DNA sequence: CTTGCAAATGCAATAGTATTGCGTTTATAA
DNA sequence: TTATAAACGCAATACTATTGCATTTGCAAG
């Protein structure tokens, strides 16, 4: 990760009152380079600087999620996946149920949908987030 | 559960080549009456006829999901929730992140969204399903 | 109604995911 | 440089879900 990028994320951490630790920086670095949702287990396996404790990893992930730097994703794999949250650029995923291929979907009409959902609701006054994932078949698997 | 309803689901099971067992019927009955997504643990706790083995419950749930009678839902509770799938009436949920209140959202523009997602995709040829849940604050919790 | 058998169940064991408590280390502000 | 709250690492454990196998059962064929 280039120094400028590291500094960018370090600033984001400090702004949230979080300490800048080697573990958190490597975690961000990993997520930046991989650019695909990853489970805690996968992240641990890819760890470069020695090893990271599972608990520390989960706590670091929690912290980054709270700070709005990372988001959780459920791709129906039986565990939570994590990915870097590019500010201002919110996206979802297309998942191939055969081979697991993942493609990003960036054209989500999020605000409109939330408006629609709120309008039809009798109990809710505000919506902050939504999850949206598509499941189907990719070219390669559609014989 | 009225007899006619029981027979309806029994038929659905038989049509899928599945046996009609007391456990599966009580499971469907529970889900029918509760009408809110429930975890396997919650279902087990609500079991009337004696007790159901955890493994049997998970296998029954899997079978019903495969048969298109039940669907899995991820409400970010750290586990899978299950709910009855009313045929032809697909819906999503609004979840209050404070108190856990759940409200159904029925006006999902599913087909349109899938079309949109497919159009923007370079790797996918078909989409079969999607997950969509909203997270926000309900009236009661919005002081 | 009986019977045969594949499907379903129950139990024990275990895998996988995630969290808690606590003593030690470390980032950072004073 | 130092004090301290935050973060870390280790051990233990909780929770969610699955596998293997012996037993039971739904149900179709006779």
Q: How far apart are CA B88 and CA B93, in angstroms?
A: 17
Question: Can you tell me which residue has its alpha carbon closest to the C1' of nucleotide D27?
Answer: B19
Give the tens place of pLDDT for each residue, B92-121: 999 999 999 999 999 888 888 999 999 999
pLDDT band at A127; cut points 50, 70, 90: very high
Q: Which residues contact A89 (CB under 8 A, 6 or more apart)?
A: A106
CB B111 within 8 A of CB B127: no
Give the tens place of pLDDT for each residue, A93-107: 999 999 999 999 998
Task: Check pLDDT > 70 for residue B1.
Answer: no
Q: Which domains does chain A have, with CATH numbers?
A: 1-86 (1.10.10.10), 90-143 (3.30.1490.190)
Please check whether residue B99 touches A, CB under 8 A.
no
- What residues of chain A, 109 to 138, have a C-beta less than 8 Å from chain B? 109, 113-114, 116-117, 120-138
pLDDT of residue A10: 96
Chain B closest CA to A80's CA: distance in Å? 8
Which has the minimum average pLDDT: A17-21, A41-45, A101-105, A111-115? A111-115
**Mean pLDDT computed over A55-68:** 97
Q: Which nucleotide is nearest to B19 (CA to C1')?
A: D26
**Mean pLDDT computed over B55-69:** 97
**Mean pLDDT computed over B61-85:** 97
**Mean pLDDT computed over B34-62:** 95
Alpha-carbon A26 to chain mean position: 15
Rounded to 5 degrees, what are φ and ψ at B92?
-125, -165
Nucleotides of chain C in contact with protein CB (under 7 A) are 7-13, 16-21, 26-29
**Mean pLDDT computed over A27-45:** 95
């Amino acid at each position: 990760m280039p120094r400028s990028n590291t500094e960018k994320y370090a600033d984001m951490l400090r702004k949230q009152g979080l300490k800048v630790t080697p573990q958190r920086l490597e975690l961000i670095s990993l997520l930046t380079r991989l650019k695909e949702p990853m489970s805690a287990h996968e992240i641990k396996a890819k760890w470069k600087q020695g090893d990271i404790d599972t608990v520390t990893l989960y706590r670091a992930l929690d912290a980054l999620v709270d700070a709005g730097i990372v988001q959780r994703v459920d791709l129906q794999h039986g565990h939570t996946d994590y990915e870097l949250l590019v500010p201002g650029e919110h996206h979802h995923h297309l998942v191939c149920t055969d081979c697991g291929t993942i493609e990003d979907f960036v054209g989500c009409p999020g605000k409109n949908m939330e408006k629609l959902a709120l309008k039809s609701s009798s109990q809710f006054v505000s919506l902050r987030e939504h999850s949206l994932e598509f499941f189907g078949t990719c070219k390669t698997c559609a014989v």
